Chains A and B, each alone.
Chain A
Amino acid sequence: MPSRAQHHTIVALVEDKPGVLNRIASKWRQRGFNIESLAVGHSEIPGLSRMTFTVDGATHDVDQVTKQLYKVIEVVKITDITGEEIVARELALIRVATSVNNRTAVLEIAQVFRASVIDVAHDSLVLEVTGTEDKVEALYELLLPYGVKELVRTGRIAMTRGGAAQEPDDGSQRRYRSAGEGKAQVGSLL
């Protein structure tokens, strides 16, 4: 089933136990995937964490790994939300070299991007920006000429839009449901 490589956003609800991240990363590694970004944190359900991955790959291959991931005992639910209406954000901290001469120019750029200044020193300042990867990327590009001394990005976190958009019923996502058959139903959280 050849299909072209595509950016996939995958959200996993997992039990908050040691080794889970290792098991999940191992499944991607085994099939030769590079995890582009990964964000992990507590979910709204006690004992469960939510992970957001982005990976590049053909849909069939990503689908295969997703099914394999269901076999990890601690994985409660996993969904490829790529084809769905989603909101996705990441946060970045950028340390930019500044001088008396160009500080105002940097601040103006920051304002355009609604980035906030969270630390100031004589020769640098730290900006905090939230948005899509494109937005973060654009800000970073604009700041490069001033000298970016440090960059840290959280990776994408994502949710589907609306109250009930989590399970489209056009059949396209059926494979995920059948793969997760028998997995506990945790409300309509994904």
Chain B
Amino acid sequence: MKLTGAQIIMECLAREGVDTFFGYPGGANLPMYDTLVQYPQIRHVLVRHEQAAAHAADAYARVTGKAGVAWATSGPGATNLVTGIANAWMDSVPLVCITGSVVSWLIGRDGFQEADITGITIPITKHNALVLNVEDIAPTLREAFYIATTGRPGPVLVDIPRDIQQQTCEFDYPETVELRGYQPTTKGDPHEIKRAAALIAAAERPIVLAGHGVVISHAWDELVELAEKAQIPVITTVLGLGGFPGTHELFMGMPGMHGMYWNNQAISEADLIIALGMRFDDRVTGRLNDFAPKAKIVHVDIDPAEIGKNLPAAVPIVGDVKQVLIDLNREVAPVRHDAWRAWLSEEKASHPSIAIPDTEKVLPQYVIKSLYDASGADAYYVTGVGQHQMWAAQYFWVDKPNGFITSGGLGTMGFEIPAAIGAQFADPQATVWAICGDGGFQMTSQELATIAECELPIKLAIINNGYLGMVRQWQELFYKDNLSGVRMLQPDFVKLAEAYGLRGIRVSEKADVKSSIDAALAHPGPVLIEFQVEQHENTYPMVPPGASLQETVDSPYKADGVVVAPIASEVRP
């Protein structure tokens, strides 16, 4: 039986196991929306802006491990996806974006709502394609899902002109994909794995640096096995959070620009770094030349281009982290590193880094810690970008595999609300906290309408300090306190929540923090809490830009709440 191009798109989604996707209609994807109603088993979520469709699909993919799907129309619809696609590209998230394109005879003629979206997205997609024959839709989408989800995952965009969506042909979904130039390596070289095991056996001061690859490949059990067997402390990057149990005695938290002081010292003292599915981002390494001066590096990554990109690896292993760890764990003999761990414990005890002083002020750290204390491993925590994100990362000592969802590489403000929507659809029974900055919140707050319409019980916490806090922090420290463009007059967030049909709570007293969180968790529907926090709090520890990890400036607080140093002068160059 012949099907239309639009029906073929839906058949492909069904065969790829897509049960929920996110989109926005327009002139060039009308046939797709026309066909949608014939497939009630596939849920379409109408967002309020295409960027949100991409971010929601992104978080949906992170939680489910399947490809997230986003639809948009041509022109502005497609270009609105771009930020979301770039976000997925930087964080290696499998996304299949299907855009309607202007009718094929108008392509290249500046037709109404035409944008060369395949050209635009070349640098931010793993692959993309413009489909010009209805017969090519099925194989192209089959390839799109295959490419998006295998190897190092990433976004794929398929652009389909409206007339092609309407043409008909026999539907035949290819069983296999044959791509001459694409066969990712998943199994590590046994010779290199043996060399890695030998380095681990010989190391006195080893650490694991675990990145997003651990989460993507679901290698948490294997990582725990390695860490316990060889007694290696585990540091996770911001995207690696949730890749290792937060309450495990070997878990050390995050390194880097706003990482734990002790981790940055440990990296500088280590003689072996086992880097798993991470890419030595500048926010992790600080000044590259002084990163881990005493360490040999075992670098495991599924993307060969990551190995040697920023730092040379003594042992390069191309492969899937889980697969490599299974093989490596067989080679690793039990060993202890008591002296090293004792040194690290001492560092940790003497530099509290994330101590929260006992004050009557509503400190943002206290609010975020309270969220974790109240919801623990029962929730997903989705953040935006900025100070609140770093605090959220610093205090995420939670046993929730894959529980921390954030925009790591691209640093996209406004990620939090649509991503929380995606996470909630991916795990409808779970608690989902969107931890928002007051600035980023306003970039995608239109999605409160989606939350209300879909009756999603998302809990939103706005950490409102009335500023673009991270930018202000840099202006204070590195631009001579010249605050420019960072003070924000905010709307009444509680009224805004209520206008959309959400419950709104405002908290300005410390005494109300925990009770409001409990009230939000007890409420069956969506709740927005605006926490009016101490405005001038800054995020520490901090490695000043251009400095090395050894130069980390620790938090001004001691465990007993005493402020120990006038930080600004220390951080300023």
Contact = CB atoms under 8 A, between A and B. Distances in A.
Given A19-B122, A63-B308, A186-B180, 11 more contacts: A19-B130, A64-B309, A71-B126, A71-B305, A72-B181, A73-B126, A74-B181, A181-B304, A182-B182, A182-B184, A184-B183
B123 A30 contact: yes
A184 B180 contact: yes
Contact of B181 (A14, A175, A181): A14
B180 A76 contact: yes
Interface string B87-126: 0000000000000000000000000000000110011001
- Interface on chain A toward B: helix, strand, loop, or mixed SS? mixed
Interface string B162-188: 000000000000000001111111000
Interface in B179-204: 179-185
10 contacts: A26-B123, A48-B180, A67-B304, A67-B305, A71-B303, A76-B181, A179-B305, A180-B304, A181-B185, A182-B182
B123 A183 contact: no
Contacts of A68: 305
A73 B123 contact: no
- Interface on chain B toward A: helix, strand, loop, or mixed SS? loop
B122 A181 contact: no
Given A64-B309, A73-B147, A182 B183 contact: yes
A89 interface: no
B293 interface: no
Interface residues of B, number: 24
A80 interface: no
Contacts of B182: 73, 182-183
A75 B180 CA distance: 8
Interface in A73-94: 73-76
Contact of B318 (A18, A72, A178): A178
Interface string A2-28: 000000000000110011001100100
B307 interface: yes
Nearest to A184: B180
Given A73-B179, A184-B181, A178 B304 contact: yes
A70 interface: yes
A70 B305 contact: yes
A180 B181 CA distance: 9
B308 A175 contact: yes
Contacts of B185: 181-182
A1 interface: yes
A175 to B, nearest CB: 7
Contacts of A181: 185, 304, 318
B316 interface: yes
B312 interface: yes
A119 B180 CA distance: 43
A186 B183 CA distance: 13
A75 B126 CA distance: 13
Given A22-B119, A23-B122, A70 B304 contact: yes
B506 interface: no
B122 A15 contact: no
A178 B126 contact: no
A182 B305 CA distance: 13
A74 to B, nearest CB: 5
B181 A15 contact: yes
Given A1-B312, A22-B122, A23-B122, A64 B181 contact: no
Contacts of A179: 304-305
A26 to B, nearest CB: 5
A32 to B, nearest CB: 13
B49 interface: no
The 5 closest A-B pairs by CB, nearest first: A67-B305, A182-B185, A182-B183, A76-B181, A179-B304
B127 interface: yes
Contacts of B179: 73
B305 A73 contact: no
A54 to B, nearest CB: 22
Interface in B305-319: 305, 307-309, 312, 316, 318
Interface string B281-321: 00000000000000000000001110111001000101000
A72 B122 CA distance: 10
A28 B179 CA distance: 23
Contacts of A184: 180-181, 183
